Structure 1
Amino acid sequence: MNNNRIQINILHGKREGNVFLRGTLFDGPQKLDFSESAKRMALLPKEDAGELLSRTNGFFSAVSSDGRSGWMAVDRLRTMPLFYGTRNDTLFISDSARWVLEKIEEREMDPIARQEFLLTGYVTGPDTLFSRVKQVQAGELVRFRADDDGSIVLEPQRYFRYLHHDYLREDEASLRKRLDDMLLPTFRRMLEYVAGRTIVVPLSGGYDSRLIVLMLKRMEYENVVAFSYGRPGNQEAETSKQVAEQLGIRWEFVPYSDEEWYQWYRSPEMQAYFEYADGLCSLPHIQDWPAVMALKREGRIPEDSVFVPGHSADLPAGSRSKTFPDLYRGENDPETLVSAITRYHYSLFAYKEGDRSPFSARERILKVLGDPAQYPDAASAFESWDITERQPKFIVNSLRVYEHWGYAWWIPFWDTEFMAYWQRIPPERRLNQNLYIGYVNDLAKEMGVAVEEKVPPRPSFKKTPFVVGIKTALRITLRTLLLAHLYVNRLRKHDHLSLWGCFTNQWIAAIFNKQQQSINGAFALSRIILLDEELNSATKNKR
């Protein structure tokens, strides 16, 4: 009998027949109810799974099993992760990576995955920090069956990759009109999902969240709350407040301080969030965790609110071109591409290919990229890698914050129609985000919002001359206490979110020995240390 050889533990979502489903699906403008969605998913074994899933809009994860065989799938962005692993002749599937880990009884982190996590904040491909715990990748369907010879057969199929194709060689006015024509149905779908509830927008100083509130105002949706957070008076929050006031949107602010972060970071509530959010493969996002907590506990937003963050219109619109313009001007050398991905993504700690053997960023990158012939240019390959890895596991995984506090969410800029539009925009039109920023600025003027020449950049301190000089001096003088003290104080002063408050001065100075290069590097190292402690504790309890 095979009934016990496929064990499924889905903590979120509902079941109909053999299908476990979480999420919301659309067919064109029509929102499908749960029963219709489950019926559609049940057709996967009978139809071309890739074609059916590719034309399905919305955000979901699904598992189907008859006890002997079945399949599991996630949407294009892996917004609702699934994990699986095998032990002996049994397959374990769950939306909880820790449940799978417990069942397969693995007790040591994979050294390659561990190195990658420290450099990027996530683990690429189907891997996690544990070699026998796997994850369903963005845009992937995994078929499985339990054979009579005792083996578990797994057949993964990527039904979606973000690939550019059929470039639109039109003037900017025509492309802007197409963008406008696409945004309207995209936001109508979101409003269909929201169904009159309060929309809560994390409104920063950037263009993405600004476009969300502009579109909501344009569509005359009034049940909107915007919020910001951080040190009182920080520039991001001030810009956020100005935009909200000009649009007549209620604006909330949650102040942060170093002292509060030190307590929040060590609280049992946040430790529980870490276990929920990390999936044993991702660095949990925390920067708006206290803000959402405050909004909830102080009754500033309704319990049934829907959070709508700006993830991540800037990426398909060409934001990476500011760092790597040559990729968007026809550069197609594969090694230049790999170098760009390494520099941008494998950057939480200092890294040079070959210095952390047997780990190789180049090998990990090429494994994800696959056949280079499928990309029309290097810019397409660069964005595809980002949308396959960093977006699902680092950026979009921040949605776990809203779920932790009991709220729903929607991310309109990962609507399939939005993605399809940018897949046809040539790289020269994505260069410096000119097409996108021009559209947002014109819409802002139309809606009566004053447009700055340039959105204030998010504070970055790690590459200023002061920091470079201090780093050099620290290495030369073995990081004397005086220089370490100066460095730490400077970090805290320029941290508009007070995130460095999570750590003591001694710890911040100590991690400099490891050539840590950003706040996320500090958090990644902290997570690995805590996971080690968790594993050691579990091992002792087993004895």
Structure 2
Amino acid sequence: MRGHAFYKDEYQDAENLASLVQETDDVEELSEFLSSLNGFFSVVVDADDETVLASDRMRTGPVFYSVDDGKILVSDDCGWMTKETPPLTRSKVSEVEYETSRFVTSSNTLYKEISQLQSGEIVVFDKSSADISTYQHHTHTTTNSRIDEDELRIEFQRVLDAAFERLIDAADGRPIAVPLSGGYDSRLIALMLKRLEYENVITYTVNTGGDTLAIAERVAENLGFPWVTANVTHDEWGEFYNSDTWDEFFHSAAYLGGLPSPTEVPALMKLKRLGKIPEDALFVPGHSALDSMKATPEELERANDIQLGRLTDHIVDQHFKYNESTRIPSCDIESRVAESIGMDTSIEPRSSVEAFERWRLKERRAKLIINGSRVYDFLGWDWWMPLEDEALYEFWRRVPMSYKRHRSFYEEYIKILYADIGAVSIDEAKSTEDDSFKLMVADKLRGSLIWPLVSRSYALWDNSWMKQKYMVEYKLEDIYQSDPRYGIMSKSELKEYYDGQSYIFFSLLSRDTLEKIDLGTVELS
């Protein structure tokens, strides 16, 4: 058992949860028990007749498994899995998903012989027959609640307060470390801790270029929280990349199912070494369930039934946005979308909106965003995600789409709260790292009737030789110098491997992990 959660309003650590799991007699009882938990966990039970694997709603603890010669292999260490599993075969479809979205969907991984546990899933391996059975103790669905904005605001504050009271209970007086970015989610974490008068707080920010550091430091100062950062150089990133630590992190960070994010590793290693973040700190990242329910295209809201082709087109448009020159096999991706959302099964989505949200929560949310917490596990720190609290998830599930779209209600709420608690102007309160004109236009128009035209215009520019030449001649040098993560490659390598990608660092990192380009000496099994 890994993790911690609340059961019947009482905080339970991993040891207590393991005891409670052992009290269940069958899959039905286990499913009912897991559904009653509010927290973050993964379960492996090896009994005489069967092996059972289970994950929480967000799959916060990745688990991999394979079956060979009537036996099951189970681990959260990708390096061990690839060594112990018989000769491996790369999946071409999985490689495309990895290269263009940074993760592999459904139970698939980079290798055909290895599977990954999915969010809200229970996997049972029968030792006598060597058969695998799967069950869902959680499946995302949508509702059509009606509520006015005043009621919504009151209910949101009530649910937020309760979620953060649970965080404070879980922290039990320990220092809370908040990774403060230039965005709204981490800002809300800091605001709520200030509102509930939790004083043992430290904030930190990792430099990835832009004005993130300045914005984050200003937020921390306005709220009266200490703020630290670590100046990690290009050379230090290069040393990290060429060290055993890089391999160890990737193997522990579920790289077979999703591209790990190494962004925080060197900075946190340095802050830990310097004693700037306590050994017993509880890390609280700003991952929010709302992010998977905010951007459903309006076309899908108007659809009377699920048109799998159009649904897949929207998913690819939003989330397969890395290495844009890579050809995406539409039919194969469509089949994987159908598998992921449960088409033609007892849990088939009831609407296009439900299907879209379910895919985002189960795939992008779990394997790309939530998987970012692997860095805390790797460095030996505990963590909790209050914005993924079960009550908050249920709140957002009931909120009308008009309030969720583009996070309009949510971000307005945070601006007002920051202006109040931080004693700043509304203009100051709405300052974030993502204020570019292109991002603002895309955020407002995505899913609208004119979005296809706007999207095609962006695509024409993004895929043009003019943009690529402009970037190589005038921008790549600045991008390299401003972001120390590019220390994993040379300037000449950046120019050589850049082919017009909008998200350059992770696009090149995914290709390097797949061994399609060579940025250095890293070799993963």
Q: If the length of structure 1 is used for normalisation, what is the TM-score?
A: 0.83
- In the TM superposition, 1:402-417 aligns within 5 A as 402-417=376-391
Q: Distance in 2 between matches of 1:517 and 1:248?
A: 34
Residues 152-171 of structure 1 mapped to structure 2, 5 A cutoff: 152-165=130-143, 167-171=144-148
Letter in 2 for 1:152: A
CA shift digits 1:298-356 (9 cap, x unpaired): 110111111101012541562x25xx45446778663433211111111212268xx45
- In the alignment, which residue of structure 2 is the partner of 1:221? 198
Give me the whole-angstrom Cα distance separating, in 1, the residues matched to 2:189 and 2:376: 18
**Shift in Å, 1:54:** 1.3
Structure 2 regions of 5+ residues with no counterpart?
443-456
Matched, 1:27 2:7: yes
Q: Contact 1:24/1:60 (CA < 8 Å) preserved in 2? A: yes
CA contact (8 A) 1:229 1:237 kept: yes
Secondary structure at 1:163 match in 2: coil
**1:266 matched residue in structure 2:** 242
Instruction: Give the alignment partner of residue 488 of structure 1, picking from 440, 454, 476.
Output: 476
The alpha-carbon deviation at position 520 of structure 1 amounts to: 1.4
CA RMSD, aligned part only? 3.3
* C-alpha displacement of 1:289: 1.5
Kept in 2, the 8 Å contact 1:236–1:458? The answer is no
Judged with a 3 Å threshold, the aligned counterparts in structure 2 of structure 1 residues 140 and 460 are, in CA distance, closer, same or farther, namely: farther
The alpha-carbon deviation at position 136 of structure 1 amounts to 1.0
CA contact (8 A) 1:203 1:226 kept: yes
Change in 2 beyond 3 A, CA 1:25/1:231? closer
Give the residue type in structure 2 aligned to 1:221.
Answer: Y
Match of 1:174 in 2: 151
Residues 107 and 535 in structure 1, CA contact (< 8 A), matched pair in contact too:
no
Partner in structure 2 of residue 8 of structure 1: none
2:334 to 362, 377, 381: 362
Contact 1:231 1:255 in 2 (8 A): no
**C-alpha displacement of 1:358:** 8.8
Structure 1 counterpart of 2:37: 56
The one-letter code matched in structure 2 to 1:153 is D
1:40 aligns with 2:45: no
Is 1:529 matched with 2:515?
A: yes
User: Cα distance 1:383–1:455, how it changes in 2: closer, same or farther (>3 A)?
Assistant: farther
Number of the residue aligned with 1:289 = 265
Corresponding residue of 1:11? none
User: For the structure 1 residues 524 and 393, does the alpha-carbon distance in structure 2 shift closer, same or farther, using more than 3 Å as the test?
Assistant: same
Percent identical: 28
Residue 285 of structure 1, CA deviation: 0.7
Pick from 178, 183, 191: which aligns with 2:160? 183
2:434 equivalent in structure 1: 458
SS in structure 2 at match of 1:389? helix
Query: What is the CA distance between 1:412 and its match in structure 2?
Result: 0.9
How do 1:493-512 and structure 2 match up within 5 A? 495=482, 497-512=483-498
The farther-off stretch of 459-468 and 483-492 is 459-468
SS at match of 1:161: coil
Please point out which of 305, 317, 339 is paired with 2:313: 339
Over residues 380-402 of structure 1, what are the superposed CA-to-partner deviations in whole Å (9 max), with x where a residue is unaligned?
32222111011111111111111
Distance 2:37 2:48 in 1: 26
Between stretches 250-259 and 277-286, larger displacement belongs to 250-259
- Tell me, which stretches of 5 or more residues in structure 1 are unaligned? 1-20, 539-543
| Structure 2 residue corresponding to 1:212, chosen from 162, 173, 189 | 189
1:230 match: secondary structure: coil
Structure 1 CA distance, aligned partners of 2:459 and 2:340?
A: 34
Counterparts of 2:212 and 2:524 in 1: how far apart (Å)?
Answer: 41
Aligned to 1:350: 324
Q: CA deviation at 1:245?
A: 0.9
CA contact (8 A) 1:119 1:348 kept: yes
The question of 1:141 aligning with 2:129 is answered no
Post-superposition CA distance 1:221-274 (Å, at most 9, x none)? 000001112168x42221111111111100112234444433332233223212
Query: How far 1:522 sits from its partner (Å)?
Result: 0.8
Q: Which amino acid aligns with 1:27?
A: Y
Indicate conservation of the 8 Å contact 2:77/2:251, yes or no: no
Shift of 1:472: 3.0
State the alpha-carbon separation in 2 of the partners of residues 376 and 449 from structure 1: 45
> Take 1:203 and 1:331, find their aligned partners in 2: how far apart are those partners?
42
In the aligned structure 2, how far is the partner of 1:415 from the partner of 1:297?
A: 31
Q: Is the 8 A contact 2:285 2:385 kept in 1?
A: yes
In the other structure, the counterpart of 1:473 is: 465
Please tell me whether the aligned partners of residues 238 and 489 of structure 2 are also in contact (alpha carbons under 8 angstroms): yes
Which residue is 2:505 aligned to?
Answer: 519
Please list, as runs of the form range in 1=range in 2, the aligned pairs for 1:364-403 lying within 5 A after superposition: 364-371=336-343, 374-375=348-349, 377-403=351-377
Report the secondary structure of 2:59's partner residue: coil
Check whether the contact 1:227–1:253 (CA below 8 A) recurs between aligned residues: yes
Q: Distance in 2 between matches of 1:483 and 1:443?
A: 39
User: What SS does the aligned partner of 2:246 have?
Assistant: helix
Which residue in the other structure is 1:441 paired with?
415
| Shift in Å, 1:283 | 0.7
Find the counterpart in structure 2 of residue 425 from structure 1.
399
Q: Which amino acid aligns with 1:129?
A: L
Q: 1:200 to 1:349 in 2, by over 3 A?
A: same
Distance in 1 (CA, whole Å) between partners of 2:49 and 2:207 is 52
Q: Residues 164-217 of structure 1: CA distance to partner in whole angstroms, max 9, x if unpaired?
A: 12x321111111111111112211111111111110101112111111111111
Counterparts of 2:244 and 2:90 in 1: how far apart (Å)? Answer: 24
- Residues 177 and 358 of structure 1: CA distance in aligned 2, closer, same or farther (over 3 Å): closer
Q: What residue number does 1:95 align with?
A: 76
- Residue 147 of structure 2 contacts residue 400 of structure 2 at CA under 8 Å; is this kept in 1? no
For 2:285 and 2:262, locate their aligned partners in 1 and report how far apart those are by CA, in whole Å. Answer: 14
Structure 2 residue aligned with 1:302: 278
Which secondary structure state, in structure 2, belongs to the residue aligned with residue 25 of structure 1?
strand
Seen in structure 2, the aligned counterparts of structure 1 residues 415 and 127 have a Cα distance that, compared at 3 Å, is same
